Structure 1
Amino acid sequence: FSRDGGSVPRHRFLGRKASLAELPALNPALKYTATYYDASMHDPERLALDVLHDGLAAGSHARAANHLEAVGFGPRGVRVRDAVTGREFDLAADVVVNTSGPWTDLTNAQLGRETRFMGGTKGSHIVLDHPELLEATGGREIFFEHEDGRIVLIYPLKGRVMVGTTDLEHDMREPAVCTEDEVDYFFDLVAHVFPGIAVDRSQIVYRFSGVRPLPRHDDTQPGFVSRDYRIERADVAERPGTTLLSLVGGKWTTFRALAEHLADEVLGLLGRERARSTEGLPIGGGAGYPTTDDARLVWVAGHGDGVGRERAEQLLERYGTRAAALIAEVEGGPETPLADHDAYSREEIAWITRHERVVHLADVVFRRTSLAFTGGLTPRLLDELADVVGDELGWDAAARRAEVDATRRVLAERHGVVLDEPASLVE
């Protein structure tokens, strides 16, 4: 399926000897390996932003509201609360769509609808700064069945190695965090594939955990629950003529197809017809993206005068062709690299803040950049980021301190990252 008509090479099966010749650190007890090619998504948060930007660009009628939560249903529509200001107001609509993933039942409860659609399972990961393990992967995602039957992975990504994932029942009223037992499980699976490579907790630079929006599955084991989706429909008694749709299930792999299906359901309820299909439509920075080496050279040459070709290449890799807008804003003068992380500049962080709906420092740290994921944060860098973002958003000194403190709490409580303050020098 992943060959897409031959756009990627054919798969290969190799026996033990040939497999170890290519990846000598693999477990010598292996019998064979299979190599195949597929698409990969390195930044799901950035893909979500690109979809959002595309939606807003579709017409002047499009709107998007960040940090907004549904708190009830009334005769005038959905009651929502601005999580930043605390202000509440109503949104009137003939069709309300609940696509809050694993939180779908909790959102419906806020809307006065008790549902039991969801049975999401938690999947945790760790990110290792481990050059030996990174080299052992040969640049490939190692995808395999562990001894307990779970399909797990060891994945070289952004100069680090991501290891995952678990599949555990989870109560959505509680935060999803990666536990010490899960870390032990990950170390065990690394040892299963690369028995000669030692890993320990000191090499973990980031932990994260998410919940798959799976349908309720009662006695079915999590790993065997369908990853398909369905759309649940209900009438809203408080506002006759209004319909509530709840999306149950789905995943990134199929999000475009299910989104079009869901949109068609909405259009049908509104008595409207689709004006444009999204099939084959490039997303965000994928529009006009150079697909050959020559085309890439041409793009970089055309955008590298102001920032340098190496920097243009880096930004193209990070933002796709949306990088052109960033380059246009910063090419008037030299960029200033962040003090503790030269892969990003102060001007780039300012551009992100202006154009990507940043509200909190955590938005930049976790959802707009790879700074947290790669273990690149330091106390000084966090302060510098707060200054750059604060200059754009008009934060005073107290607000900047509060944003830094809040981000540090999330780092420690949700991602296992504690940023120690540097020791003071005493004469």
Structure 2
Amino acid sequence: NIGIDPQKHIPPGRTISKSECLQLLPGIDAKDLTGGAVFYDAQVYNSERLVLSFLRSAAQKNADLANYVKVTGFLQQGNCITGVEAQDLLTGDRFQIRAKTVVNTSGAWINRVLALLHGQQPQKSVLFAKAINLVTRQLLPTYAVGVPGQNSYQDSDALLKKGSSLLFIAPWRDKSLIGTSYTACEPDPDKFKVTQKDIQEFLDRINCSYPAANLTRSDVSFVHGGLLPSSGVCDHTGNVQLSKHYQIYDYREQGLQGLISVVGVKYTTARNVAQKVVDSVFRSWGQKPPKSKSSVTSLHSGEISQFEAFLSAEIAKRRYGLGEEEIRRLVYNYGSAYPEVLKYLSANKRKGLSDRLAVLKAEVVHGVREEMAQKLSDVVFRRTELGSAGYPGNEALNTCAETMGAELGWTSAQIQPELQEVRLAFEYSLGQERSNKSKLTNFTASSIFR
């Protein structure tokens, strides 16, 4: 709790009796049950907007951000990388970006990017595992619960052998978020997909571990899928072993100057890893790294000393006549910067729209003008929370498309493919096959600022 908002301090855990355990988790098998333990943790409300806060913080420190840009090759002089060749994916334009050091933070595409060195790939391929969470009808509204899985599991790095992994059922956006399932996967990240088989097998595991859930395929509204660094598959159990630690690769020992690669493992260590990467860059230049201030610097939109007090004060202001629900939602998504969104609201409110749709239109305009949104999928999946728990409905989606079209000068003929792309993306997330004719944005494993 050091340095944390005192209203957000995480309290100590406690043990609970068998009867209280049965009350909190109705339907759990009472055989051999003696009690339980309650502990507290934090939950990221909107991980996409957290990434945007990092990016906007960097921009405030004079970083240049580029959206929908793909690295197609490296610029090299002898054994020194001097930049990259790049392509604008929306216009097709090709150009060069020169740099003293290139830092490869391409996530699941790290192997693909390093392969652009044409035979000079300086390390073994990084392994990845498929990870999925299910968003379902709400099972438990008050507590997140970890239930033992029925399959045996052995973590090769663990000091204590638990015998099975835990499935966590967490309340989330009036639904339940259940996870996580880890399986081996195709090495090409562009071939990543969640299949109907993946979803059904995970549902079977959940129902076996907690029969009271009684989940069916129709209870699943959305699937979060992605790739995580892996250390391989356990020979004894066949279980995927996740990487526990980040990796920073400096290739000078391999005779290659000017290139560093990074593989992270979780949000909670991201800031510290970034600090170490910057320090590595300075050392590669033969310079002493300056003292980092990132551990005591608020992110963009995070300038809030006491969150609950801030939220109550903003609700009381009733900006533009908005009610508590909309102000709360805006503060949770945009933090102290939520007035940035409201400045685009006034014109929409005069059109007799509901608070929800008026604010949504303002969020879309904000996403386009302030956060480089270029496609409808950007707004639905990566700028707002609209698509985070499942299909938002035709009215909301059409409102987004029309508002974005007005901002970017889209014709009706341009709007329809954008709508189709997003609808297909929702279908694809639920295990439907992707049409060969569709050109879907890969939102489950998207680039850092798509």
Match of 1:207, SS state, is: strand
Partner residue, 1:144? 147
Q: Is the 8 A contact 1:124 1:177 kept in 2?
A: no
Q: Is the 8 A contact 2:70 2:86 kept in 1?
A: yes
Q: Please give the residue correspondences for 1:263-282 in structure 2 after superposition, counting only pairs within 5 Å.
A: 263-270=278-285, 271=287, 273-274=289-290, 276-282=292-298
User: Is 1:176 matched with 2:188?
Assistant: no
Q: Is the 8 A contact 2:200 2:217 kept in 1?
A: no
**C-alpha deviation, 1:257, in angstroms:** 0.7
User: Is 1:13 matched with 2:15?
Assistant: yes
User: Is 1:288 matched with 2:304?
Assistant: yes
**C-alpha deviation, 1:40, in angstroms:** 1.1
Q: Tell me which amino acid in the other structure corresponds to 1:57.
A: Q
Partner residue, 1:325? 340
Between the aligned partners of 1:156 and 1:53, the Cα distance in structure 2 is: 29
Partner residue, 1:78? 84
**C-alpha deviation, 1:65, in angstroms:** 0.5
**C-alpha deviation, 1:219, in angstroms:** 5.4
Between the aligned partners of 2:129 and 2:45, the Cα distance in structure 1 is: 22
Q: Tell me which amino acid in the other structure corresponds to 1:20.
A: L
Bigger relative contact order, structure 1 or 2 (CA pairs below 8 A, ≥6 apart) = 2
Between the aligned partners of 2:131 and 2:303, the Cα distance in structure 1 is: 32
1:140-188 deviations in whole A, cap 9, x for unaligned?
2212331212332212111111122111112241433222333233323
2:250 pairs, out of 222, 226, 233, with 233
Count matched residues: 407
Partner residue, 2:176? 161
Kindly tell me: are residues 282 and 187 of structure 1, through their superposed partners in 2, closer, same or farther at Cα, counting changes over 3 Å? same
Match of 2:295, SS state, is: coil
Percentage identity across paired residues of the two chains: 24
**Relative to structure 2, which stretch is displaced further, 226-235 or 177-186?**
177-186
Match of 2:249, SS state, is: strand
1:216-259 deviations in whole A, cap 9, x for unaligned?
6785965544320121122599xx98411011342212111111
**C-alpha deviation, 1:100, in angstroms:** 1.1
Q: Is the 8 A contact 2:194 2:430 kept in 1?
A: yes
Partner residue, 1:410? 425
Kindly tell me: are residues 98 and 357 of structure 1, through their superposed partners in 2, closer, same or farther at Cα, counting changes over 3 Å? same
Q: Is the 8 A contact 1:119 1:217 kept in 2?
A: no
Between the aligned partners of 1:193 and 1:317, the Cα distance in structure 2 is: 33
2:390 pairs, out of 346, 371, 375, with 375
Kindly tell me: are residues 2 and 155 of structure 1, through their superposed partners in 2, closer, same or farther at Cα, counting changes over 3 Å? farther
Q: Is the 8 A contact 1:11 1:34 kept in 2?
A: yes
Match of 1:354, SS state, is: helix
Q: Please give the residue correspondences for 1:11-90 in structure 2 after superposition, counting only pairs within 5 Å.
A: 11-29=13-31, 30-59=33-62, 62-75=63-76, 77-90=83-96
RMSD, matched Cα? 3.1
Q: Is the 8 A contact 1:146 1:189 kept in 2?
A: yes
2:220 pairs, out of 192, 201, 204, with 204
1:102-137 deviations in whole A, cap 9, x for unaligned?
221111113434342411111012211x24x1xxx2
Between the aligned partners of 2:197 and 2:408, the Cα distance in structure 1 is: 41
Partner residue, 2:133? 125
Q: Tell me which amino acid in the other structure corresponds to 1:72.
A: G
**C-alpha deviation, 1:266, in angstroms:** 1.2
**C-alpha deviation, 1:339, in angstroms:** 8.2
Match of 1:196, SS state, is: helix
User: Is 1:298 matched with 2:295?
Assistant: no
Between the aligned partners of 2:40 and 2:3, the Cα distance in structure 1 is: 7
**C-alpha deviation, 1:364, in angstroms:** 1.1
Match of 1:253, SS state, is: helix
**C-alpha deviation, 1:3, in angstroms:** 12
TM-score, L = length of structure 2: 0.81
Match of 1:214, SS state, is: strand
**Relative to structure 2, which stretch is displaced further, 19-28 or 35-44?**
19-28
Between the aligned partners of 1:320 and 1:139, the Cα distance in structure 2 is: 24
Q: Is the 8 A contact 1:228 1:250 kept in 2?
A: yes
Between the aligned partners of 2:174 and 2:342, the Cα distance in structure 1 is: 25
**C-alpha deviation, 1:272, in angstroms:** 5.7
Between the aligned partners of 1:191 and 1:329, the Cα distance in structure 2 is: 46
**Relative to structure 2, which stretch is displaced further, 159-168 or 26-35?**
26-35
User: Is 1:188 matched with 2:194?
Assistant: no
Between the aligned partners of 1:23 and 1:55, the Cα distance in structure 2 is: 43
Match of 2:41, SS state, is: coil
Partner residue, 2:155? none
Q: Structure 1, unaligned stretches of length 5 or more? A: 419-427
Q: Tell me which amino acid in the other structure corresponds to 1:386.
A: A
Q: Is the 8 A contact 2:167 2:206 kept in 1?
A: no
User: Is 1:312 matched with 2:318?
Assistant: no
Q: Please give the residue correspondences for 1:208-223 in structure 2 after superposition, counting only pairs within 5 Å.
A: 208-214=224-230, 223=240
Q: Please give the residue correspondences for 1:238-249 in structure 2 after superposition, counting only pairs within 5 Å.
A: 242-249=257-264
Kindly tell me: are residues 91 and 357 of structure 1, through their superposed partners in 2, closer, same or farther at Cα, counting changes over 3 Å? same
TM-score, L = length of structure 1: 0.85
1:330-380 deviations in whole A, cap 9, x for unaligned?
246627687896595322222222212101111111112232232243345
